[in-house]
Structure 1
């Protein structure tokens, strides 16, 4: 079974989140590891959302991925989203890029290292709920203390020359507003609208988005090159603000009772991405001060984080990218979030790198190029091998 075959098998094992049931795919990987002589354990907080862990007595490298995928409605897909069809040099399907392709490449690279007689000092963890925050997955495992800090490679999809060494912070906030109802013909002279109070928060966020936050010269250089990579990926100009400013999305708003009644209730769910130069706590506190009468619940919060480009794991990832692609890697910061934020906070130097068509993630016709799977496996093998005590010589992939 090659990396493409394994990716197809993983795509066909449905693990949409919600509901987040990942037992079948976790047990499949458990069997794969058993066949190459690596013991692993399926761990779950609730019996349905299952994580897989392979331990080592002295880990030097953690190989990390997530088993859950975002839901997929079949409408509009070139092929059914869980068919794992191979066509035109791609494997198509939900999770092929995010991130079952990366999981497959990690596993086949690890198998290759074992088959070649190496004894990789690695631990493996595949979690169940990266797409919904991590309380059943990475946060749960870290809280239980089952993972020991070490260099970490997360096989999230990235541009082929751009490992991700940092990511913006995150704040998810739910606000509930209580107004004073009255007849609509007298508003705003009479009554207080919960809908309009929610609107005022959105107006505040629009102003917040215009702020710039000062950062160090080194971080400024990484942000600039990351912005250039982002613009190239999406074929858009003027995305420089994405990494420098607070990005906000009022994802859900529910409010009002009837058009001719001043709204008594309104709920607002916000997703904020926090840039370097400020903290998530500062932004949350500002919002709380703006609406002291609202009921506020913070469901996720993390500060911007990064791993030094001179960290051992970052240098080794870059060295293998250069070997396989024959071009200089361009480490970047990420505009989205992943389990890297939990791991860095817990003391793990984490770098994200993996195969995938980044612009198709979470979308219709998600897919991964088979060539990128093969190259990722080669890169991952080189990284794993570099942590072994005795490393056999590797041939240049471009020869």
Structure 2
């Protein structure tokens, strides 16, 4: 099976999220799986939010990836975003990196293992809605007990030499600030502005961001390595990204008229939490720094997660990368979130490793190199062999 051709085929099947309709691409992947002799099934969600999984979910290793992509406009692309153009070096199009390339490499590696006559120690899951938060994708499969805790490799794009074994936590919430309206000509002598309350809160958030969370010895090693990788080719110090709370007031809406002291102001916040920072504790602290009249509504809560670097999954993945690339591979941690968060919370040992040009992810002219697709296929194949050859309990 040709990974580049398969990647191109997947790109040409639209699966933008929104709206999140993955029914056509799920049917295509199911046909590929069944052509390999792997029985599968599709779980159908609302408005075409479909997942495809292997019927046998007893594998010691789960290989998974998401099949939805962020939308793309035609303007500004060298090749049309859904063309799946293959040239001498790359496959081009929306999802080439995030992450139809990874899904193609997984299927190609599984095809090799089947051709070798191996008894597959793996299960498969290709999910929808990762770009929309996973409600109908991985989270649905977990809620319905359709996948079961084991080692899991998510074929998300990563640096070529470093699998990702951890992600920062995420905390999203809304705050509605309530002021006392009045005539603008009398403010600030009379009236209390909800907009100013929000500004004061954001100043405090800037102070909270300065707090550095101490790490264990293992985490310090991972963070130092991850900081170097994140900063390659730049002069930016990425250390604070891993050790501190990052925050983004993504949407602020407030005020009624320019000549009225604002009675209402709503702020939507996205925070990324380092290891050692507890989401519930930080929300309690935040509540103590907003006015009593303000209402905070949590939207998403999850602490930072980690898969141990000395686990079988991480060790064998790093060994395969090292052998294929002729370097020494070491794991890293990430500053963003993915389905790995939900899987670890459910008892899976999760790792991310996959092909892609990270500089084009979610952007114009997204692409993946054919060489990297082939190398990832080889790495996945070697990992499958490791799980085939071991009968001992994996830890």
**What is the TM-score normalised by the length of structure 1?**
0.94
Q: CA deviation at 1:116?
A: 1.3
Q: Distance in 2 between matches of 1:24 and 1:282?
A: 43
The equivalent of 2:258 in structure 1 is: 259
Q: Distance in 2 between matches of 1:226 and 1:163?
A: 10
The equivalent of 2:40 in structure 1 is: 40
Q: Distance in 1 between matches of 2:235 and 2:169?
A: 23
User: What do residues 160-212 of structure 1 show as CA deviations (whole Å, max 9, x unaligned)?
Assistant: 10000111000111222222221111112222222222222221211111000
Aligned CA RMSD, in angstroms, stands at 1.6
The equivalent of 1:396 in structure 2 is: none
Q: Distance in 2 between matches of 1:58 and 1:312?
A: 18
Q: CA deviation at 1:57?
A: 5.6
User: What do residues 300-344 of structure 1 show as CA deviations (whole Å, max 9, x unaligned)?
Assistant: 111111111110110110111011111100210111110001111
Q: Distance in 1 between matches of 2:7 and 2:373?
A: 9
Q: Distance in 2 between matches of 1:17 and 1:293?
A: 37
Q: CA deviation at 1:58?
A: 2.8
Q: CA deviation at 1:115?
A: 1.3
| Structure 1 residues 201 and 377: CA distance shift in structure 2, 3 A | same
Q: Distance in 1 between matches of 2:57 and 2:141?
A: 17
Q: How many residues align?
A: 390
User: What do residues 134-153 of structure 1 show as CA deviations (whole Å, max 9, x unaligned)?
Assistant: 11111121111111111110
Q: CA deviation at 1:236?
A: 3.4
The equivalent of 1:138 in structure 2 is: 138
The equivalent of 2:71 in structure 1 is: 71
Q: Which moved more, 1:219-228 or 1:185-194?
A: 185-194
Say whether the 8 Å CA contact 2:57–2:148 is kept in structure 1.
no
Q: Distance in 2 between matches of 1:285 and 1:364?
A: 40
Say whether the 8 Å CA contact 2:164–2:332 is kept in structure 1.
yes
The equivalent of 1:216 in structure 2 is: 216
Say whether the 8 Å CA contact 1:92–1:367 is kept in structure 2.
yes
Q: Distance in 1 between matches of 2:86 and 2:277?
A: 45
Q: Distance in 1 between matches of 2:324 and 2:381?
A: 11
Question: Counterparts of 1:1-399 in structure 2 under 5 Å?
Answer: 1-56=1-56, 58-87=58-87, 89-232=89-232, 235-291=234-290, 292-389=292-389
For residue 131 of structure 2, give the secondary structure of its aligned residue in structure 1. Answer: helix
Say whether the 8 Å CA contact 2:57–2:147 is kept in structure 1.
no
Q: CA deviation at 1:221?
A: 1.1
Q: Distance in 2 between matches of 1:364 and 1:265?
A: 38
Q: Distance in 1 between matches of 2:74 and 2:248?
A: 26
Q: Distance in 2 between matches of 1:72 and 1:10?
A: 15
Say whether the 8 Å CA contact 2:20–2:47 is kept in structure 1.
no
The equivalent of 1:395 in structure 2 is: none
Q: CA deviation at 1:47?
A: 4.8
Q: Which runs of 5+ in 2 are unaligned?
A: none
Q: CA deviation at 1:389?
A: 4.3
Q: Which runs of 5+ in 1 are unaligned?
A: 392-399
User: What do residues 197-256 of structure 1 show as CA deviations (whole Å, max 9, x unaligned)?
Assistant: 222222121111100011111211110110000001x52321211111101111111122
